[in-house]
Amino acid sequence: MSLVSGPGRGGASAGGHVPDELKLVVEKHVEYIQSLDTRQDELEYWLTEHLRLNGVYWGLTALHLLGHPDALSRLATIDFILSCQHENGGFGAAPGHDAHMLYTVSAVQILGTVDALEELDRRGKAGTEKVGKYIADLQNQETGSFAGDQWGETDTRFLYGALNALSLLHMLRLVNVSKAVTHIQACANFDGGYGVSPGAESHAGQIFTCVAALAIAGRLDLVDKDRLGGWLSERQVPNGGLNGRPEKVEDVCYSWWVGSSLAMIDRLHWINGDKLAQFILRCQDPDKGGIADRPGDMVDVFHTHFGIAGLSLIGFPGLIAVDPIYCMPREVTKRLLGKLNT
C-alpha cells in the first residue's frame, strides 16, 4: 500500500465549483486506494516504507467501511503481512524492518479483518502465542506502560495497541491490565483530557488511545465523561471540522480521534454531525478520489481512511458501521471477540 500523497487535492474539481449538496464518491475512493499500489516509481513510496503495514491497514479498513472488502487481493494482503513478521513474533513496517508494536498491532488487525488469524499458526514465522508474547514483553512491569520496541520509547499509543491486539487474540491474560489502567490514569489532565505520558498536554489522538484502552479494560467508569466530553466537543470549529488541541487548526483525522472518543463515552451527539460530514466531504477529491486533511491539500490514504471512518461513526448513509474502540468494521470485531449475538 503506497502512502504517496496526491495526485488529487481535496475539494478540487474542474473549474473549482463546489456543488451545494456534497456526495461521498464511494467508487472514486475505491479506485484511489486500489491505484496506490501502482505508484511504486515515486520516491515518496519508498520514503514511506516505514509505514507500509499501517498503510495496508488504512487502505483495507477504508475499503471494508466503503462496502468493498474484496477490492484488494486477500491472498496478496496475507502474504505481504506475513513477510513482515520476525521470528520473535513481532512485525516490522515492511520486510527487513525491525519489529515494532505499532506494526504488530496493524498486522493482527489486518489478519483479523480478512479472517486469516489462523494463518499465523499455519505459515507465520512465529505462531499466535509468540505474537502475544512479543506484545506482552513490551510492558514495563513497574509502571504498566508499554514500549514500542526494545528502543524503549513509551507512548499511550503503544499501551492501547497492546490491549487492542491482545484482546482480539483473546490473550489479555498475558499482561497486567490493572497496572496499564493505573498508567492511563496517571496521564489524565486537569482539563479532562489525556496526554502521551504523565504531565503531557491533552491531545485528541492520545485521548482516543487512553479512552479506548480503558474501554477494552472495562474501566470506562474511571473517565469523567462530562468534563472530557465538554473538552472534546469544544474541538469543533465553525466550519464543522475538528482540531486536536485548543487553538490548533482542524484536520480530517480528528474526525476519528475526537468522534470515536465521544462515541465511547456516549456523547457523540455533543458535536454537530451534519457539519462534520460536510467538512469531511469538502476534503474529498471528487474526481480522482481520496481525502485530504483540509480542503485544498493533497489527498493521502491516512486521511482517506480516517475521513471515511469518521463518516461511518456518525452514521453516514451507505457506509459499514465502524467499531469506535478498534477502528475496524463492527461486524469484524463482533466476530473476533465472539459477540455474534449482540
Partner 1 sequence: MGKYSDSDEWVDVVPIPQDDGGPNPLAAIAYTEEYSEAMSYLRAAMAKNEKSDRALKLTEEIIRMNPAHYTVWLYRADMLFSLQKDLLEELEWLNTVALKHTKNFQIWHHRQVVMSHIPTLPPRETAFLALMFAKDAKNYHVWSYRQWLVRHFSLWDSELPYIESLLQIDVRNNSAWNHRWFVVFARHTDSKKHSIKNGDADSDVPLEIIEREVEYTKAAISTAPQNQSPWNYLRGVLRKKGIGLVELKGFAEQYADLEKEDEVRSSHALDFLADVYAAEEHKERSGKALELLARRYDPIRKNYWDYRRSLLALDQVSA
Residues 39-58 that bind partner 1 (CB under 8 A): 40-41, 43, 45-52, 56
Q: How many residues bind partner 1 (CB under 8 A)?
A: 71
Shortest distance, position 32 Cβ to partner 1, whole Å = 16
> Is the link from the previous residue into 7 a cis peptide, with omega within 30 of 0?
yes
d(CA 231, CA 267) in angstroms, rounded, equals 11
Identify which of residues 83 and 287 has a Cβ nearer to partner 1 in the complex. Answer: 83
Contacts of 245 (CB under 8 A, 6+ apart): 201, 202, 203, 204
Taking the least distance from each CB to partner 1, the nearer of 18 and 76 is 76
**Which is nearer to partner 1, 12 or 250 (by Cβ)?**
250
Please state, in angstroms and rounded to a whole number, the distance separating the CA atoms of residues 215 and 325: 7
- Which residues in 310-329 contact partner 1 (CB under 8 A)? none
C-alpha cell at 226: 462530562
Q: Which is nearer to partner 1, 241 or 295 (CB)?
A: 241
Helix (H) or strand (E) holding 328: strand 328-329
Q: Which stretch binds partner 1 (CB under 8 A): 24-32, 70-78, 287-295, 298-306?
A: 70-78
Phi, psi of 291 (to 5 degrees): -125, 140
**In the window 242-261, what residues touch partner 1 (CB under 8 A)?**
245-248
Q: With binding defined as CB under 8 A, does residue 233 bind partner 1? A: yes
Site string for partner 1, 274-303 (x = CB under 8 A): -x----------------------------
- Cβ atoms of 204 and 258 closer than 8 Å: yes
From the list 13, 34, 35, 272, which residue makes contact with partner 1 (rule: CB under 8 A)?
272
Out of 18, 118, 150, 318, name the contact with partner 1 by CB under 8 A.
150
Cα(230)–Cα(269) distance, rounded to whole angstroms?
11
Considering the complex, what minimum distance in angstroms separates the CB of residue 190 from partner 1?
A: 3
Cβ-contact 15, 56 below 8 angstroms: no
